[in-house]
Amino acid sequence: MKRLNRRTRLLILTAVTAAALICMYVLGLAIPDEAVEGSFLEAGEPPSFEHIFGTDSLGRDLFTRTIKGLSLSITVGLVASAVSAVIAILVGLAAATGIKGIDGFINWLIDLTMGVPHTILIILISFALGRGFTGLLAGIAATHWCSLARLIRGEVLQLRSQQYVAISRKLGKSNRWILAHHLLPHLVPQLLVGLVLMFPHAILHEASISFLGFGLPPEQPAIGIILSESMRYLSAGMWWPAVLPGAALVLLVLLVDKLGDELKMILDPYSAQE
Amino acid sequence: MALEAKNVSFRYGSNKTWVLENKSLSLERGECLVILAPSGYGKTTLAMLLAGYLKPERGEILLDGRPLPMSGVCPVQLIFQHPEKALNPRWRMRRVLEESGAIQEDMMDEFGIERAWLDRFPRELSGGEMQRFCIARALMSGAEFIICDEISTMLDTISQAQIWELVLREAAKRDIGILAITHNRFLAGRIADRIIDLSADRG
């Protein structure tokens, strides 16, 4: 068999990672809510062939709950990072219009948002918006756009000063044409990678805020909720509700992170040809 | 009077020293004017002013007695020293040429641009090949004046000769005014109708 070159292997790896994530997501959506209802006869059982993650104190199958939780996490991650990316690109472009006042204000806003610890800010925003799914999403979206916005701003400033952009203007092209044809194509890979790398952050924040009780309501099968419940039974020797869903969350985060790195390798012109 | 700089002064920032002070020059259609000066005498600044990339702090740049148009295709086109910076690295060469209007086949033949190059990216071409595209782009826009800011400095002598041959022939054909900037006195002697030495009249 012919040995595959690094780029082909990278592409295959990326496809596999993406497929694993999609499987997780679809599986979680496909599981009906009734499947998570448990029976008290099976409460607190350790992992077995019937329940591979064991059952929790209410007799619910932990594996199904975990998968549903991961699926929810992916939704949160997707929405939050997509919204953050949109904010980031708008802010980045606005900052790069060249108007000093706007740029200064946006830089100040970025510094302000980054200066407050994320977790506290998310808790405040989520709490103010009545917790739940929307509160949590708003909180995460409002805190995660900063670093990407700063990156986009820097990139746009650098692109705007390029000679070929100045030449384009002298060839009679409008600002909008230059934005669409010269600037945006350079920003898309940055944005895509930034979005994917933001995803694990968003997921972990969602889990930690739910764990602390400021996020999703207790009946939602979220990983943060499962972990927070597990704390009560940990001292009674029930390790599985804490360890296994926690490990699943870590696996999800690692997978997404890997996907981001792979995409970066593929899109970044410095490593694309390897 | 065609392209004209009238008592132009320029400095980068209001408390810096003047790069150009009270400079005047004029360039007719069909003429080749060479500006000669060592580094740091404001040659490139003058080029940017004449092509409308910079605004003079005092004085004015006039084209046939009127200020340069600020929008639309500029009739004065500047060709830069480094073609690799003047080309979008993500664009194929076909797009580069199309940016200044429809591709003119006869001009491509004239400039020795091979059809296969059109589907390449800038990094897949040599410096001389890239510079041909930059010059062709400037000329295809219908420029009446071209300002060549050391366009052949990074080329070997044979490519220099070829490039200037092409530029001069095309300029003569279309009655284009050329303002060429160079360090090279020998090159200046070969191409110039008139030479201005910026270092001569600085106090």
> At A175, which CATH number?
1.10.3720.10
> Are B74 and A171 within 8 A, CB to CB?
yes
Q: What is the DSSP letter of A268?
A: -
Instruction: Look at residue B203 in the predicted model and tell me its pLDDT.
Output: 42
B5: distance to nearest CA of chain A, Å? 19
Going by C-alpha positions, the residue among A94, A196, A80 that lies closest to residue A149 is: A94
CA atoms within a 13 Å half-sphere pointing along the CA-CB vector of A56: 26
Residue of higher predicted confidence among A268 and A215: A215
Whether A107 shows a pLDDT value over 60: the answer reads yes
The answer to whether residue A271 sits within a structural domain is: no
The beta-carbon neighbor of B90 closest among A168, A172, A185 is: A185
E strands, chain B, in order: 3-10, 20-27, 32-36, 58-63, 66-67, 76-79, 145-149, 177-182, 194-197
The answer to whether residue A86 sits within a structural domain is: yes
A166: distance to nearest CA of chain B, Å? 8
The answer to whether residue A42 sits within a structural domain is: no
A95: distance to nearest CA of chain B, Å? 22
**Which two three-digit tokens encode residue A229?**
């419940």
The answer to whether residue A52 sits within a structural domain is: no
B86: distance to nearest CA of chain A, Å? 4
DSSP string, A185-229: HHHHHHHHHHHHHHHHHHHHHHHHHHHHTSSS-TTS--HHHHHHH
Tell me the pLDDT tens digit for each residue of A193-251: 888 888 888 888 888 888 888 888 887 778 888 888 888 888 887 888 888 888 988 98
Q: What is the pLDDT of chain A when averaged over all its residues? A: 84
Report the residue of chain B nearest A182, measured CA to CA.
B88
> Are A163 and B80 within 8 A, CB to CB?
yes
Report the residue of chain A nearest B86, measured CA to CA.
A164
The answer to whether residue A25 sits within a structural domain is: yes
The answer to whether residue A142 sits within a structural domain is: yes
> Are A173 and B78 within 8 A, CB to CB?
no
The beta-carbon neighbor of B85 closest among A163, A182, A185 is: A163
Would you write out chain B's pLDDT as a tens digit for each of its 203 residues? Answer: 689 888 889 988 888 888 888 888 889 888 999 998 888 888 889 999 999 888 898 888 988 888 888 888 889 999 998 998 999 988 899 999 888 887 888 888 888 888 889 999 998 898 888 988 999 999 888 888 999 998 888 888 888 888 898 889 888 888 999 999 988 888 888 888 888 888 776 54
The answer to whether residue A31 sits within a structural domain is: yes
CA A88 to chain CA centroid, nearest Å: 14
- The count of domains in chain A is 1
Residue of A160, A167, A178, A268 to mutate, interface with B, max B Cβ within 10 Å: A167
- Residue A123 to residues A214, A249, B3, B128: CA-CA distances in angstroms? 6, 21, 65, 60
The mean pLDDT of A71-84, rounded to a whole number, is 87
Interface of A with B (CB under 8 A): 162-164, 166-168, 170-173, 182, 185-186, 269
**Is residue A64 a contact partner of residue A37, using CB atoms and an 8 Å limit?**
no
Report the residue of chain B nearest A162, measured CA to CA.
B85
ipTM of the complex: 0.87
Going by C-alpha positions, the residue among A22, A138, A154, A157 that lies closest to residue A84 is: A138
Tell me the pLDDT tens digit for each residue of A16-63: 888 888 888 888 888 877 777 777 777 777 777 777 787 877 778 888
Instruction: Look at residue A269 in the predicted model and tell me its pLDDT.
Output: 63
> Are A164 and B82 within 8 A, CB to CB?
no
**Rounded Cα–Cα distance for residues A203 and A83 (Å):** 14
Whether A98 shows a pLDDT value over 80: the answer reads no
> Are A171 and B100 within 8 A, CB to CB?
yes
Q: Is the pTM of this model over 0.90?
A: no
> Are A171 and B137 within 8 A, CB to CB?
yes
> Are B85 and A166 within 8 A, CB to CB?
no
> Are B88 and A170 within 8 A, CB to CB?
no
Residues of chain A positioned with their CB less than 8 A from the CB of B136: none
Tell me the pLDDT tens digit for each residue of A109-155: 889 988 988 888 999 998 898 878 888 888 888 888 888 888 888 88
**Is residue A152 a contact partner of residue A107, using CB atoms and an 8 Å limit?**
no
Q: What is the DSSP letter of B113?
A: -
> Are B86 and A171 within 8 A, CB to CB?
no
Report the residue of chain B nearest A171, measured CA to CA.
B73
The beta-carbon neighbor of B87 closest among A164, A170, A186 is: A164
- Cross-strand bridge partners of residue A97: none
**Rounded Cα–Cα distance for residues A9 and A3 (Å):** 10
Q: What percent of chain A is modeled with pLDDT above 70?
A: 96
Report the residue of chain B nearest A187, measured CA to CA.
B90
> Are A170 and B99 within 8 A, CB to CB?
no
**Rounded Cα–Cα distance for residues A246 and A66 (Å):** 9
Whether A168 shows a pLDDT value over 80: the answer reads yes
Residue of A171, A182, A187 to mutate, interface with B, max B Cβ within 10 Å: A171
Band of the pLDDT at A2, cuts 50, 70, 90? low
Residue of A163, A173, A175 to mutate, interface with B, max B Cβ within 10 Å: A163
Residues of chain A positioned with their CB less than 8 A from the CB of B52: 170
Q: Residue A214 is which amino acid? A: F
Element (H, E) at A65: helix A62-95
Domain range for residue A71? Answer: 10-35+61-266
**Which two three-digit tokens encode residue A27?**
């599986």
B91: distance to nearest CA of chain A, Å? 9
The answer to whether residue A272 sits within a structural domain is: no
